[in-house]
Amino acid sequence: MVSVEELAASKDEWLREAAEVVVRHRDTVKQALVNAMNKVRSCVLRYEYIHNEIYAAIKDQDEAWQVDSAVHSILDRLRIDDIVAYKIYDDPDDYTNDVFVVLFRELCKERVAMLEEIATLFAVEFYHKFDKKEGRFYDAMPVDSRGRDEVYTTLHNLVCMWTYCCLEEEE
């Protein structure tokens, strides 16, 4: 786990520049992460939600693009104050489908590795579905990663079990 400040002091110019953008927009980025979690009601979310929250918070499109690009490029295993983020799935076709776990505490390496392994199911071409009526599995048509609700549910439930991150029910 590395802090955004450590990246901002990096000798790697590309990482340093991205981290400096995130540091300058720290409060906006943190609020975008929290808003995304609240919107999905999960600590496991596609980057699409973070992306949308950044653009909603920053009205200048060029500045929003710069922040969005910087956040996406360094968000893996990154700490921004009390928020930590892990990139557990990198979608080869669309970066907004990348999957992140955003928490208020760190996970051990073994747990992150387990989440990454489960997230590989997003890339499986064919999927098996369980038919409750017949009580058995059947071959399903290929679905894209966005249609893999079972994977999201499993990831969400594991993270909740480990961290008690579940968001409160809205009253």
pLDDT (0 to 100) of residue 6: 93
> Is the confidence at residue 166, as pLDDT, over 50?
yes
What tokens were used for 53?
């929250």
**Is residue 61, in this structure, part of any structural domain at all?**
yes
**Is residue 156, in this structure, part of any structural domain at all?**
yes
Specify the pairing of strand 83-89 against strand 78-80: antiparallel
pLDDT (0 to 100) of residue 142: 60
DSSP-assigned letters across all residues of 121-143: GGG-SSEEEEETTTTEEEEEPP-
pLDDT tens figures, 84-99 = 999 999 998 899 999 9
Strands ordered across the beta sheet of 44-46: 2-3, 78-80, 83-89, 99-103, 44-46
**Is residue 110, in this structure, part of any structural domain at all?**
yes
**Is residue 170, in this structure, part of any structural domain at all?**
no
Backbone dihedral angles phi then psi of residue 128, each to the nearest 5 degrees: -110, 135
pLDDT tens figures, 57-111 = 999 999 999 999 999 999 999 999 999 999 999 998 899 999 999 999 999 999 9
Number of domains in the chain: 1
Residue 149 lies in domain: 2-163
- Nearest alpha carbon to residue 102 among 84, 127, 79: 84
Tell me if the pTM is above 0.75: yes
**Is residue 38, in this structure, part of any structural domain at all?**
yes
Structure-token match 């450590």, residue found = 6
